[in-house]
Structure 1
Amino acid sequence: MASIDFEQVVQAVGDAIVVVDVSGIILSWNAAATRIFGYSEAVAVGQSLDLIIPERQRDRHWQGYAKTVTTGTTRYGSSVLRVPALHRDGHALSIAFTVALLCKDSGEVDAIIAVIRDETARFTEERALRKRLAELEARVPAGIPSE
């Protein structure tokens, strides 16, 4: 059986893989994270996740983060969370991610891994389709059944 270089796997995947400690400091940042968010690994590692969290979302994010660290549970291990994020140049992103908790032998959370996908294009397309549908529905007179 071939041995697997997991660092090579992390760098090769198309989704961002970001590892943070319990205080929210970035420990690991792969090539896809650089592509999605615009920050090099050298710049991102050692920084707070606030680097990519829009200011208006930070309170809510850190409340949920603290709850996850304290309880050692998250519903986003298998359910996808979709949230806004920020690119280095300031433009808004729409991301979807799952998380995994890395725990000490004691069961205490030691780090959190996020696997992140940029869904900005999909989100923009869906928003445009919803807008177009609303416009079309507004043009149909009330009480006339559609075919």
Structure 2
Amino acid sequence: MKTNVDLNQLIDCIGDAVIVADAHEKIVLWNAAASKIFGYSEEEALGNTLDLIVPERQRQRHNEGYSKSMETGVTRYGTSLLKVPAKHKDGHTLSIAFTVGMLFDANNQAYGVAAVIRDETQGFAEERALKKRLSDLES
């Protein structure tokens, strides 16, 4: 059964951020949830690099991993949920969880990535508070 799904509408109606970046980390797709999570409008994000949301202290590691994925066409995060810090437009730190998929051209060369991202900041803070409380009770 074939359906007529409007992919743009689908991408904009889901609650998780969908971000697509090209081989040079330039953002080429930024949905409404990405704006809500990170604070940047689509206009502000498009054409910028992922440095927009990657904290300074994570950038070197991120850039090395991204470059390696573009060279090899492989990412270890395609099926694994990655949890890392991210940066909001106003400067505060977020805790995000995401999966990433490699995008390939007709010659099977990697030309970008698509990431589906969820804001886990509140859950992470609650978990940290519970661990502290448990630790305090055990002391």
Tell me, yes or no, whether TM beats 0.5: yes
Query: 5+ unaligned residues in a row in structure 2: which ranges?
Result: none
Q: Structure 1 residue 28 and structure 2 residue 24: aligned?
A: no
Distance 1:22 1:2 in 2: 31
Distance 1:120 1:32 in 2: 15
Partner of 1:107: 108
TM-score normalised to structure 1 length: 0.91
Query: 5+ unaligned residues in a row in structure 1: which ranges?
Result: 139-147
Q: Structure 1 residue 128 and structure 2 residue 134: aligned?
A: no
AA aligned to 1:101 is M
SS at 1:95's partner residue?
Answer: strand
Distance 1:76 1:26 in 2: 19
AA aligned to 2:22 is D
Partner of 1:46: 47
Shift of 1:75: 1.7
Distance 2:7 2:109 in 1: 24
* Regions of 4+ moved over 2 Å: none
SS at 2:116's partner residue?
Answer: strand
Distance 2:80 2:5 in 1: 27
TM-score normalised to structure 2 length: 0.96
Partner of 1:137: 138
